[in-house]
């Protein structure tokens, strides 16, 4: 029996809350860095095949900037912060004071890439530290790895650990975006995926063990 089958609707709600808390803190951090009002999109938790997850992130061939971290500590998992190129360029402009930045010219300047990695680092860091407070588990993010390439290539490479255990993944998806008048302009998506063994640890720590 796969770990996915043991997860019931209460567990899904808890995962949603994890996404809520994590992305809420990340949005606050982003708001502080950029000095803008940011919104968070209410999270979705879904059980998907890897192919479906790639579709969700924009389709296998779409080129995006993604910051990937491995999570170590009492539980292990993966986190992706995925930005459309246009948005990534926009962040680089704001953080480095460059007037116009474009991904069309190679090689990319070192400063731009490190600003983007740092942004990913700060946002994922605030996501994870709030999660750590909520679950009372200690979590350590790896140094972020930045990759500007096709969605299919980046996500499948990040999911090697998970793919050995299951053809399905539990994706906690949240988005953060700039608040523009009454609507929200999406800036980036977080995909948070715990390793299969980690679910039991998280749910036990929160007092809602898995059965089955």
Partner 1 sequence: MVELSNIIKVGIADMNTVQSPALIRTSGLGSCVGVIVYDQSKEIAGMAHVMLPDSSLSKTGQINHAKYADTAIKELVDRIVRDGASIRNLKAKIAGGSQMFQFSSGTDLMRIGPRNVEAVKKELLALRIPIVAEDVGGNSGRTIEFDPKTSLLSIRTVNKGTKVL
Cβ contact 75:198 at 8 Å: yes
10 Å CB burial of residue 2 (0-12, 13-18, 19+) is exposed
CA–CA dist 134, 132 (Å, integer): 5
Considering all CA atoms of the chain, what is the largest pairwise distance in Å, rounded to the nearest integer?
Answer: 56
Size of the site for partner 1 (CB under 8 A): 33
Residues 6+ apart with CB under 8 A from 99: 93
Tell me, residue by residue from 78 to 117, as one string, x for binding to partner 1 by CB under 8 A and - for no binding: ----------------------------x-----------
CA–CA dist 125, 176 (Å, integer): 15
Map residue 110 onto helix, strand or coil. helix
Minimal distance, residue 170 CB to partner 1, in Å: 15
Hey, which residues between 39 and 78 contact partner 1 (CB under 8 A)? 50-51, 54, 59-61, 63, 68, 70
Nearer to partner 1, 63 or 179 (CB): 63
CA–CA dist 114, 106 (Å, integer): 15
Hey, which residues between 158 and 187 contact partner 1 (CB under 8 A)? 158, 160-161, 163-167
Nearer to partner 1, 26 or 146 (CB): 146
| Dihedral (Cα; 78, 81, 84, 87), 10-degree rounding | -170
Minimal distance, residue 130 CB to partner 1, in Å: 24
Three-class DSSP labels, 28-78:
HHHHHHHCCCEEEEEEEEEEEEHHHHHHHCCCCCCEEEEEEEEEEECCCEE
Nearer to partner 1, 33 or 147 (CB): 147
Minimal distance, residue 70 CB to partner 1, in Å: 8
Nearer to partner 1, 93 or 161 (CB): 161
5 contributes a contact to partner 1 by CB under 8 A: no
**Segment near partner 1 (CB under 8 A), from 35-43, 113-121, 129-137, 155-163?**
155-163
Minimal distance, residue 198 CB to partner 1, in Å: 14
Minimal distance, residue 124 CB to partner 1, in Å: 14
What is the binding site for partner 1 (CB under 8 A)?
2, 50-51, 54, 59-61, 63, 68, 70, 106, 142-143, 145, 147-158, 160-161, 163-167
């Amino acid at each position: 029996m796969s770990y996915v089958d043991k997860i019931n609707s209460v567990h899904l709600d808890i995962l949603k809350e994890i996404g809520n808390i994590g992305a809420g803190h990340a949005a606050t951090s982003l708001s502080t860095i950029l000095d803008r009002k940011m919104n968070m999109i209410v999270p979705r938790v879904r059980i998907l095949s890897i192919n479906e997850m790639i579709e969700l992130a924009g389709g296998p061939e779409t080129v995006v900037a993604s910051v990937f971290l491995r999570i170590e500590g009492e539980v292990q998992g993966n986190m992706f912060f995925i930005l459309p190129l246009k948005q990534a360029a926009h962040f680089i402009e704001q953080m480095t004071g460059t007037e116009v930045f474009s991904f069309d010219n190679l090689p990319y300047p070192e400063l731009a890439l490190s600003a983007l990695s740092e942004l990913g680092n700060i946002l994922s860091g605030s996501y994870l530290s709030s999660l750590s407070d909520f679950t009372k588990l200690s979590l350590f993010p790896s140094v972020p790895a930045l990759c500007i390439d096709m969605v299919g290539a980046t996500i499948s490479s990040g999911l090697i650990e998970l793919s050995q255990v299951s053809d399905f993944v539990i994706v906690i998806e949240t988005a953060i975006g700039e608040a523009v008048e009454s609507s929200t302009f999406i800036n980036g998506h977080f995909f948070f995926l715990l390793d299969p063994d980690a679910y039991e640890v998280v749910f036990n720590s929160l007092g809602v063990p898995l059965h089955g």
